[in-house]
Amino acid sequence: MRGFKGIFLLSVGLFLNINSVFAQLKIEQWNRFELKLPNNSDKNSFSDNLLSATFTHKDTSITVSGFYDGNNQYIVRFMPDKTGIWKYSTKSAFTPLNNKKGEFECIKASANNHGIVRVSQTYHFKYADSTAYFPLGTTAYAWTHMADDVQEQTLKSLQNSGFNKIRMCVFPKNYELVKEEPTIYPYAVKEIKKDAKGNEVKIWDFSQFNPAFFQHLEKRIDDLQALGIEADLIVFHPYDKGRWGFDEMPMEANLNYIKYLVARLASFRNIWWSLANEYDFVKSKTDKDWETLIKAVVKADPYHHLCSIHGSTAKYFNYQMPEITHTSIQDGAPVLNWGGAAIVRSIYPKPIIFDEVGYEGNLKSRWGRYSGEEMNHMVWMGLLGGTYVTHGESYMFKDHRDTIFWAKGGQFKGNSWKRAALARQILSETGPLEMADVSRDFKTATNGKGTYLIYFGKEMLEEWIFDLPHKNASSERPKPGTKYKVDIIDTWDMSITKVNTTFEASEANDYRIADKSNRKIRLPLKPYIALRITQTNPD
Amino acid sequence: MRGFKGIFLLSVGLFLNINSVFAQLKIEQWNRFELKLPNNSDKNSFSDNLLSATFTHKDTSITVSGFYDGNNQYIVRFMPDKTGIWKYSTKSAFTPLNNKKGEFECIKASANNHGIVRVSQTYHFKYADSTAYFPLGTTAYAWTHMADDVQEQTLKSLQNSGFNKIRMCVFPKNYELVKEEPTIYPYAVKEIKKDAKGNEVKIWDFSQFNPAFFQHLEKRIDDLQALGIEADLIVFHPYDKGRWGFDEMPMEANLNYIKYLVARLASFRNIWWSLANEYDFVKSKTDKDWETLIKAVVKADPYHHLCSIHGSTAKYFNYQMPEITHTSIQDGAPVLNWGGAAIVRSIYPKPIIFDEVGYEGNLKSRWGRYSGEEMNHMVWMGLLGGTYVTHGESYMFKDHRDTIFWAKGGQFKGNSWKRAALARQILSETGPLEMADVSRDFKTATNGKGTYLIYFGKEMLEEWIFDLPHKNASSERPKPGTKYKVDIIDTWDMSITKVNTTFEASEANDYRIADKSNRKIRLPLKPYIALRITQTNPD
């Protein structure tokens, strides 16, 4: 019966193909299907309700908004998740765009395509194909607004790094050390005025998007996708200061912008929505406004990409809001002191990302002058607490035209970026971590399956006597006789050294487990050392 | 004109008095007005909707529920806040209780009556008369269920202490070290069954409250009020384990219990509602149930007393819930490491109380064996972060019949309780604190008005070179030439030593302010030292 059914289904497939005029279009899961629809009309506009399409796969039906791409062309984009035949049908007030029907076959994702990133096990992430995703991002706010060669250099830098996420803004940035005028803008210019000082000020037509601006952004997001990097896209930011005014558009324009942006970009599988950077510095918007804008993004996005918002130092948005999938915190405090990161994780039942804890660099401002060691240390302090820390770099060797990676991208000049791959490697080997004995032991994390990670930070030790918490988070506690092997990880010198000793757990004594023979190991008397302690029995 | 109007108002007052048959009843603001209404009927019951009363004062109108107090008597209680004449009128399905009218005069509160405690300046508290309230509480969960002499001893202990809040349960406690059977229960017994072991098990009639139980609880809450102590009343708790079953009553019984409890107790000005202790250990209730119960309390309480809920270690309820006025956290982590308390405060826009961080004691369990020094240290670590920490003591010198203060009250046997008065004194002198330079300087708090508090914890220093953060929270930064005096506070030895040096702030240099002549002071090379640095000019 099973064999017969299979053959029957196959022949249906063949039947459909035979009846198609063109060869069946094949789209990988989580890749982008794109339908281009020309429409010669003087009524073409960027209004958000002119075109939609419903995609159907067996019992699943997803409706997406199309968008006007200029030049008398509308586009509908769709990201299929399930393999098999997807059929679509369009709706539009324009007859040539209405009731367009078609189908494509969604095929299994290829090896490097793991799909959209989702929350997993409350505090962590995985790709749609169940591959674990451990975010280790960096930041280059305005990299897509720099000169082309700088953008290409940024991509090369990222390719050579271990980063798998980047924080980047849609709008250009006007800040003390970032003054570059973009060559392309998101809106058409309605009028050019002169301000009191005689400078030209562009007055935008918020009803007229500039498709070329978004096409460029899309190209860069696809470039990142090819490198396996998630684009944590910052929808609004305060770094404008009257220069372009994108931080103080009317609320209606904000909402139209969101609808247009999401219609264009939701089908990019590596998109995350970050509603704002330093939202509390955007003077024109209240917390209530941000809630409205967050809800607008989530409502417009049929795939529910990850979504968060980022504040200034120690400014915590109400991350309990159900539409927010994870935190995106600016605060060094939780990773500068023991136990801090885990406190934040105890509070929010969501993945904790500290997206700004400081930058390795040489700036005058204290946020931009951490050593590479300190930057890397903060990454590990977060990791130990079962949380994730974003890297950042802000070296400037010449003047403000220098490409400070933090905003402009370009070349990495520091040292901590080279350590990202090791942190990700360790995480991919241990799996998601959490504190083993939260509130009591601030240096020991566990994967709940027999592996512990101890991180000593700046403490320099010449030996470690086997000593684990008996508590193993919410997992079963180790039994006497459990055997362990140990690796010494030098998080700064990037070495993993196997120790040739097998340890054996004794009976728990007053909340701790010692080795039966009080075995100990030599440590290199250096800072930034971690131990990975792995259960070896039962095999 | 003013004089004339005053006389006119006075004569209206006299006129009303002359027309009353009895002398006008006078009730202080925030004291309790009580109306006793007899009703001989075989239909008398504890049903919550049989009696209500509306109290009116000019434009203010407040409706409260009455309650059945047994013995054919109903009671209505009311806590007036505004001075002047309050009139009331009752509503009841029982004719003898219906449409009872009357009035009383609310007079100005006397010296020791500051009114109900409210949230102030987002993170702090004050009494209704605007007197600051800095919570420094202790814990004696089941003290009202002990023998009378122990209860009297508990009150004496509290009177001699500096505590101004106590966490205490309505229901009796059944726990490893607390096995006392109460002499009185909240419900009438419907039936006595024998369990498998032949032990008697009481089956309660949840429709029949036992007024004597609540009268006793009320007497004790009034006893606390006389001592200036807030009763942080724990409505539910998990320490029952099938003995009485008060932790697993049906939801309808829970809601009726809340209505009855609140009708009886909301007029007690020193009541705080704590929906539960270790709510997550109550197996019969979900987070959703707790939300329902919290809302039920807040809905029933016309005065909106402070309201929170308390979890097990590092279990943070969603304290963002609008009905929750402050946090009531069990977690040592935020006060065992620098910067932790302030992280929690950055997250919740509410007063942060750490209601359980550990206990000074000699128990085998690690939660109950901190030294007095450590307990006091945790109080100061919290205070430094602009938060509040609750004390607890758990010494047992004989066996489980010993009065461990944590649950049973009795005599304090430790040393940290003696330090509560000093912490409150310092707070009352500085006013509310917050970190001066959050995320950067983890040892310096400010009152935003020129006073700083630096706490060194376990660091033992022999000198301190004047050095303050230039940042002064969200307040104005100190100007060069600002003069300061310094007190050395030994938080353990309870001394405040004035330093005979006047310091003068220099220009800020890289985020910090030094003294113009680099003045420094000698410190006693002891742990638990704090410095209070107070601006002296302009006077």
pLDDT digits (tens, 9 = 90+) for B190-236: 999 998 888 889 999 999 999 999 999 999 999 999 999 999 999 99
Q: Which residues have a Cβ under 8 Å from the Cβ of A263 and sit 6 or more positions away?
A: A48, A64, A65, A66, A67, A77, A300
**What is the Cα–Cα distance from A26 to B195, expressed in whole angstroms?**
69
pLDDT in tens, B103-157: 999 999 999 999 999 999 999 999 999 999 999 999 999 999 999 999 999 999 9
| Spatial contact of B302 and B268, defined as CB atoms under 8 Å apart | no
Q: Which domains does chain B have, with CATH numbers?
A: 21-107 (2.60.40.10), 133-345+355-372+401-411 (3.20.20.80), 434-535 (2.60.40.3950)
Report the gap between the CA of A392 and the closest CA in chain B (Å): 17
Strand partners, A352: A327
Q: Is B347 on the interface with A (CB under 8 A)?
A: yes
- Of residues A37, A95, A98, the one with CA closest to residue A67: A37
> Which residues in chain B have their CB less than 8 angstroms from residue A343's CB?
314, 331, 333-334, 340, 343-344
Interstrand relation of B483-490 and B495-498 (parallel, antiparallel or unpaired): antiparallel
| A471-502 tens-digit pLDDT | 999 999 999 999 999 999 999 999 999 999 99
Which of A316, A332, A438 is closest, CB to CB, to B333?
Answer: A438
Contact A166, A390 (CB under 8 A): no
Mean pLDDT of B414-443: 98
R_g over Cα of chain A: 26
- The answer to whether the CB atoms of A343 and B331 lie below 8 A apart is yes
pLDDT range class, residue A348, cuts 50, 70, 90: very high
Set of chain B residues whose Cβ sits within 8 Å of the Cβ of A332: 439-440
Q: Contact B343/A332, CB-based, under 8 Å? A: no
Q: In this predicted model, what pLDDT tens digit does every residue of A93-130 receive, in sequence order?
A: 999 999 999 999 999 999 999 999 999 999 999 999 99
pLDDT at A513 over 50: yes
CA dihedral sign, ordered A459, A465, A470, A474: positive
Average pLDDT value for residue range B412-429:
98
Residue closest to A531 by CA, chosen among A499, A484, A498, A487: A487
DSSP bridge partners of A467: A514
Q: How far apart are CA A112 and CA A124, in angstroms?
A: 21
By Cβ distance, the residue of B320, B331, B442 closest to A337 is B442
Nearest of A139, A118, A142, A140 to residue A129 by alpha carbon: A118
Please give the average per-residue pLDDT across A465-469, as a whole number: 98
* A221-228 average pLDDT score: 98
Q: How confident is the model at residue B41 (pLDDT cuts 50, 70, 90)?
A: very high
Question: Is B389:B330 a contact under the CB 8 Å cutoff?
Answer: no
pLDDT at A172 over 50: yes
Residue A3 in this model has a pLDDT that exceeds 60? no
Tell me chain B's radius of gyration from C-alpha atoms: 26
Nearest Cα of chain B lies from the Cα of A502 at a distance, in angstroms, of: 30
Mean pLDDT to the nearest integer, B87-110: 97
**pLDDT for A19 beyond 70:** no
Confidence of residue B280 (pLDDT cuts 50, 70, 90): very high
Which residues, listed in sequence order, are joined to residue A231 by a DSSP beta bridge?
A: A166, A271
Number of C-beta neighbours around residue A232 at 10 A: 24
Chain B closest-CA separation from residue A340 CA (Å) = 6
Give the closest residue to B208 by CA, choosing from B189, B193, B192: B189
Q: Which two tokens stand for residue B143?
A: 């003290």
B255 within 8 A of B298, measured Cβ to Cβ: no
Residue with tokens 């489980």: B400
Beta bridge partners of B361: B394
> Given this model, what pLDDT does residue B10 score?
34
> Which of A350, A357, A434, A440 to mutate to test binding with chain B, by most B CBs within 10 Å of its CB?
A440
Q: What are phi and psi of B420, to 5 degrees?
A: -60, -40
CA angle centred on B58, ends B55 and B61, rounded to 5°: 35
Query: Is B346 close to A340, i.e. CB distance below 8 A?
Result: no
Residue numbers of B between 429 and 448 with CB closer than 8 Å to A: 438-440, 442
Residue in the block written with tokens 């339908």? A35
Q: Which residue has the tokens 């997206």?
A: A355
pLDDT bucket at B538, cuts 50 / 70 / 90: confident
Closest Cα to residue B374, out of B414, B343, B402?
A: B414
- CA B226 to the chain's CA centroid: 15
B27 in Cβ contact with B106 (< 8 Å):
yes
State pLDDT tens for residues A31-62: 999 999 999 999 999 998 899 999 999 999 99
Q: Which residue has the tokens 């708090």?
A: B445
Residue B313 backbone phi and psi in degrees, to 5: -55, 125
Return the pLDDT at A395.
98
**DSSP code string of B276-287:** ESSGGG-TT--H
A337 to chain B: which residues are within 8 Å by CB? 337-340, 442
Taking CA–CA distances from A358, the nearest residue in chain B reads B439
Length of chain A in terms of residues written: 539
Provide the token pair at B504. Answer: 């003068």
**Chain B residue with Cα closest to A340:** B340
Q: Is A137 left (phi over 0), alpha (psi -120 to 50) or beta?
A: beta
Query: How confident is the model at residue B537, as a pLDDT?
Result: 87
Give contacts of B352 with chain A, Cβ < 8 Å.
Answer: none
Q: Average pLDDT, whole number, for chain B?
A: 95
Mean pLDDT, rounded, of chain A:
95
Distances (CA, A) of B298 to A317, B48, B274, B275, B349: 25, 16, 11, 10, 19
Residues B485-534 pLDDT 10s: 999 999 999 999 999 999 999 999 999 999 999 999 999 999 999 999 99
Cβ contacts of A10 within 8 Å, gap of 6 or more: none
Looking at residue A22, its pLDDT comes to 56
Structure tokens at A484: 């362990």
DSSP state of A22: S
pLDDT higher than threshold 80 for residue B13: no
Asked whether the predicted pLDDT for residue A21 surpasses 90, the reply is: no
Residues in chain B: 539
Cβ within 8 Å of residue A294, ≥6 positions away: A275, A307, A309, A321, A323, A324
Q: Please give the share of chain A, as a percent, with pLDDT higher than 70.
A: 96
Residue B213's pLDDT is 98
Count of A–B CB contacts within 8 Å? 83
Q: Could you tell me the pLDDT band of residue A199, with boundaries at 50, 70 and 90?
A: confident
Please judge whether A331 and B511 are an interchain contact, meaning their C-beta atoms are less than 8 angstroms apart: no
Element (H, E) at B150: helix B148-159
Name every chain B residue with its beta carbon within 8 A of the beta carbon of A386: none
Q: Which of A337, A343, A509 would best serve as a mutation to test chain B binding (most B beta carbons within 10 A)?
A: A343
Task: Say whether residue A358 is in contact with chain B using an 8 A CB cutoff.
Answer: no
Between B12 and A416, the more confident residue is: A416
Structure tokens at A46: 């960027």
Angstroms from A499 CA to nearest CA on chain B: 31
